[in-house]
Structure 1
């Protein structure tokens, strides 16, 4: 059972933990990418994103297994050769934007829920991430997997409660609202920029020993990651179209439900989700730095990890305070989406697949 969890559930839980972030977790990304196409069109778009996630994750896991690339620097050096630095530049920019989104969302949530200054919520998020990344891979992986399970439970309760109160409206909107054009491309766009976090999962796929395990784990990870988003999106359809313009759709629905205990439960879950996303992203950078130390025959100091976290989070939170959550998601992700499609997805599904096939030929020849 332990090996099954490590091979087939843990990679998906970690990927979901990082993808969910401040946008998907609050519903803002879902409102931005999917809801403009109508409730049914949004679900179609999400299915497109799921298919792309599963395919790219499966190919990434197999490429990492074949090449022994378990940090993003090694992975992209094997995939892109001397051009691997392009991914690092784009990934670091993406991280700053995502961490800014989470920092802004943490501040918004703390202010809306408990009346705290927004900087207090953002500062608490920063401190929690620093503490978590200080202890390295085992604690990060454990926290991400346990919190993902809690997230599933809370999102299911959230959906069930919403449907109990306004299920007839959700069903009516799903069945009567028109599907607007562009849902296919927005599914591709959403999948494209989220694929940039695949390297975050690499440290957790070492237990994968065969191609079947890698491919199965990859497709399962896509499904595991999208399921809570589907729960959330269906709940959002009960409040369409007004919810499309809400800065925090989760708070909009919780206010409409008016259930105190569910509001507290969801807010605690959401704050933990912000922490796990931030920790997962920064941990991937720390793993890349640690691999560089190992290449030089040295060991990375334990105190470098929280220092990296502090610098990246401080820059990100300052950006969040100056720009705001809605604008960060609406404007910040656009260009990087196309960059990641160009420097990751297309090379992986062409050059990467070719290198996997070449590795097969060498293996047969050696055998």
Structure 2
């Protein structure tokens, strides 16, 4: 098993798998995110999806390559190298966004598990919190394997949901696309608004990138950063388009587009086993998203403690930090999924674009080409 992860699979595929596994919770699980950042535009939503694919891919390539160049495998080290003393701004926004994303997942999971499996809200959330605590207790080795196999299961699950819905509503979706229907939005929809919506979606999801930094240790060459970045972009965007096309089959129904969990509405009427499977899949996404974001935060704490005290958090301490973050998220979750996504994600998206995307696209690109230029000069001298 370790040989598999240490070879080409670990260098090219694992970074994207981990990214997608963390993204799927805050980005796709309920379907609400796709409505807010694409599907509400109906026939024009695919433009936002294409923007999202390009944005995810570029940011993955830059993040992987800079982490490899700087040997910065936690976000504190990477951001200090990228923006110097301003790294603390990223730290603040990352923590707020991590809590927000986990809150949305906790709220959605509580609602979904009640409606699908009949579990009490708190039973579901506390059970998930305990699993996340165990994963962070045993560390990145178990998390990496958990995410690899979990992501495969999630992909299969979302493909099943997509096929079930799209196979019965494809004619309606095709009609929306061919007619150019954007009627869910009041007034005329501009191309700029769709593009900006895609950019904001990429912006708030930039918080998932630090969760994959520990996997970059295996990469030794720029080619690996680029190829793994492209693979990551593809893996991160496939569920977006599956959900988008599924929602188009019901466009512009308020019952679906106005729901807290659109997937539940779209699967309404299918056999009970489908609803149970959906409940299990969404519960798994909360575990993957929460464990990934908290693990990135723990890496940042450990790096700081190593610099100051030459030691790291013990495993029980790591588990306690994870449980504390989840408890805070559960409290915030009572605000509700729709408000958290429509307002919280938008503001955090702006923040992430300012402190992460813009520095990556300017200073990051400059560092990469500067090093490449230096390497070429040394090669000529030899």
Give the TM-score category using the shorter length: over 0.9
* Distance in 2 (alpha carbons) for counterparts of 1:110 and 1:268: 8
Deviation at 1:192, TM superposition (A): 1.1
* Distance in 2 (alpha carbons) for counterparts of 1:4 and 1:249: 38
Matched, 1:30 2:43: no
Match of 1:80 in 2: 83
Deviation at 1:122, TM superposition (A): 1.9
The correspondence of residues 345-360 of structure 1 with structure 2, limited to 5 A, is 345-360=357-372
TM-score (norm 2): 0.91
Q: Say what the alpha-carbon RMSD is for the aligned residues.
A: 1.6
The correspondence of residues 243-322 of structure 1 with structure 2, limited to 5 A, is 243-256=256-269, 258-295=270-307, 296-321=309-334
* Distance in 2 (alpha carbons) for counterparts of 1:232 and 1:361: 43
Match of 1:91 in 2: 94
Matched, 1:169 2:149: no
* Distance in 1 (alpha carbons) for counterparts of 2:45 and 2:124: 31
Deviation at 1:51, TM superposition (A): 0.1
Match of 1:228 in 2: 239
Cα deviation digits, residues 153-205 of structure 1 (max 9, x gap): 11112122223322222222222233532211101111111112211110111
SS in 2 for 1:277: helix
Deviation at 1:325, TM superposition (A): 1.0
Within the candidate set 14, 17, 36, 1:13 is matched to 17
Match of 2:152 in 1: 149
* Distance in 1 (alpha carbons) for counterparts of 2:71 and 2:166: 46
Matched, 1:4 2:15: no
Deviation at 1:338, TM superposition (A): 1.2
Moved more, 290-299 or 301-310: 290-299
Deviation at 1:263, TM superposition (A): 1.9
Is the CA contact 1:110–1:120 (under 8 Å) kept in the aligned structure 2?
A: no
Match of 2:185 in 1: none
Is the CA contact 1:162–1:235 (under 8 Å) kept in the aligned structure 2?
A: yes
**How many pairs align?**
364
Match of 1:219 in 2: 230
SS in 1 for 2:28: helix
Which aligned segments of 4 or more residues in structure 1 are displaced greater than 6 angstroms?
Answer: none
Deviation at 1:143, TM superposition (A): 0.9
SS in 2 for 1:333: helix
Deviation at 1:59, TM superposition (A): 0.9
Within the candidate set 201, 225, 234, 2:212 is matched to 201
Match of 2:63 in 1: 60
Deviation at 1:22, TM superposition (A): 4.4
Cα deviation digits, residues 91-126 of structure 1 (max 9, x gap): 000011011101101111111113333222222221
Is the CA contact 2:136–2:143 (under 8 Å) kept in the aligned structure 1?
A: yes
Deviation at 1:8, TM superposition (A): 1.7
Mind listing any 5+ residue stretches in structure 1 that lack a counterpart? none
Cα deviation digits, residues 9-57 of structure 1 (max 9, x gap): 111111111111145111010011112211x311210110110110111
Match of 1:325 in 2: 337
TM-score (norm 1): 0.95
Is the CA contact 2:27–2:205 (under 8 Å) kept in the aligned structure 1?
A: no
* Distance in 2 (alpha carbons) for counterparts of 1:91 and 1:35: 26
Mind listing any 5+ residue stretches in structure 2 that lack a counterpart? 183-188
Match of 2:349 in 1: 337
SS in 1 for 2:313: coil
